[in-house]
Structure 1
């Protein structure tokens, strides 16, 4: 009996790493703030990858350093450079737009879909961030096929996670649990946070004149 319980516990810990068994579909329908609804609706209308805008040359260079470090890490999963660049560019844009760390979003994508654009879970969650079809009905025209569009999927996933972070008053552990439908349980948040550490970026830029190294 004890051995059976141990095996069941091990299986539960492995579950978040298998995209086909993703449980992001346990997201529930709930009232949304107008700002959330507007952010999601605008993503449906966009057909091209977003183009980042920068307030300064330093900000643009920081982004390019991030892109230059993330691209080799992702090359095994996305071989084509142009596809990889557009994906990372969109992740960076949507994560920053939602006030999330790009590394966290990449970690969530790794756990949810293993970077497969057309991933579908057994409960119907779709795309990179495993967004449930009911979100397209609540926000857009009800066409779940649009959740396979890269920016739409990443915008939905990032805005939904931000919505949960706000609901949980900044508690990322609880927010990830809510995204996955396992609020209060450790395996899924720990999996995402662990994967996110693989995508952390420490800017190696040299200190400015007058700053200590």
Structure 2
């Protein structure tokens, strides 16, 4: 009889977790937004995969895009365009992180535009001068297609493909940066 009483006293003596460390119910607005986003996410194999990936990536992306709706819309678009191009969505997030830090209006010193820093000459090459490279869907379609092409051209060598994408073939600073961000921050097993 004494052992259970001592055990109970020992358990009562343990400190309780801080209130801010306890799991909290998601905000109703975020829950509704996530439900709608999951329902519209057509590039996932099932609803559970969509919920898990979107929630995980949304949490990681919060520091760069604080707005729930903007963040989930971007993630859904990244997932769709990456899959269309045969790329891993988490790799595309690492490229965006390195290129623009998620600033859709970013313009490089050489004129590359948008989140994936696409050069505007591609619009003329494709006969689509009306395309807006600061529109995330357009920018991701161009960027993912270009990166996928270079990855195939380099027979799967990610470092060389990233260097081509960045216009720095033969140098490995940029590929190392992207791969580092991918492995340290965005990689999903």
> Are residue 132 (structure 1) and residue 119 (structure 2) matched?
yes
Any idea what the Cα deviations from partners look like across 1:163-188, whole Å, max 9, x if unmatched? Answer: 11111111111100100111121111
Structure 1 runs of 4+ with >4 Å offset: none
Q: 2:182 aligns with which of 184, 196, 202?
A: 196
TM-score by length of 1: 0.67
Does structure 2 retain, via aligned residues, the 8 Å contact 1:137–1:143? no
Any idea what the Cα deviations from partners look like across 1:136-166, whole Å, max 9, x if unmatched? Answer: 111142236x111110000100000001111
Q: 2:138 aligns with which of 152, 171, 177?
A: 152
Residues 129 and 54 of structure 1: CA distance in aligned 2, closer, same or farther (over 3 Å):
closer
Q: Aligned partners of 1:114 and 1:107: how far apart in 2?
A: 9
SS of the residue corresponding to residue 42 of structure 2 reads coil
Between the two proteins, the alignment pairs up a number of residues equal to 149
Q: Aligned partners of 1:104 and 1:167: how far apart in 2?
A: 18
Q: 1:119 aligns with which of 106, 118, 133?
A: 106
Does structure 2 retain, via aligned residues, the 8 Å contact 1:54–1:60? no
TM-score by length of 2: 0.75
Q: Whose Rg is larger?
A: 2
The corresponding residue for 2:162 is 176
Root mean square deviation of aligned Cα: 1.5
Q: Aligned partners of 2:44 and 2:101: how far apart in 1?
A: 33
Gaps of 5+ in 2: 1-39
Structure of greater relative contact order (alpha carbons < 8 Å, 6+ residues apart): 1
Q: Aligned partners of 1:189 and 1:55: how far apart in 2?
A: 28
